[in-house]
Homo-oligomer: A and B are copies of this chain.
Amino acid sequence: MDIGKTLWAIAEGYIPTGSFSETPEFVSHEALCVLNPGKTDAELEVTLYFGDRGPAGPYRLEVPAERVTHFRFNDMKDPEPVPRDTTFASVIRSNVPVVCQHTRLDSRDPHIAVMTTVPFH
């Protein structure tokens, strides 16, 4: 089934330093959910943009065929870690159509806040 797109962009990105808990599910994070509904493994290249310097990347991610992966920008380390408390944006390119969703969980306060949207495509 060929639902999805091969080019996506998220203009919003910001990982606050603080979290009320170090339990992974409650650490403040920005997530990139990627569904690969097709029969071919997806190879993604993510480029990060910032306010005061040139782009970073590509960060290489993979989503196997007929699988979904929730990546956290927090965990992207290669070629360089994603800075905290810093405005960033991202562009995602895939070799096959995928479906993306962007989610932030903010746990600076123990009463967490969440938000989500389907990125531009």
The residues of A with any CB-CB pair to B shorter than 8 Å are 1, 3-4, 7, 9-14, 16, 25, 31, 33-35, 37, 49-52, 54-55, 66-70, 85, 87-89, 91, 98-104, 106, 108-121
Contacts and interface: CB of A to CB of B under 8 A. Distances in A.
A20 B31 CA distance: 25
A28 to B, nearest CB: 11
Given A12-B31, A51-B70, A102-B116, 20 more contacts: A11-B33, A11-B98, A12-B33, A12-B101, A12-B103, A12-B116, A13-B68, A14-B70, A33-B89, A37-B49, A50-B67, A50-B68, A68-B89, A70-B87, A104-B114, A111-B111, A114-B114, A114-B115, A118-B118, A118-B119
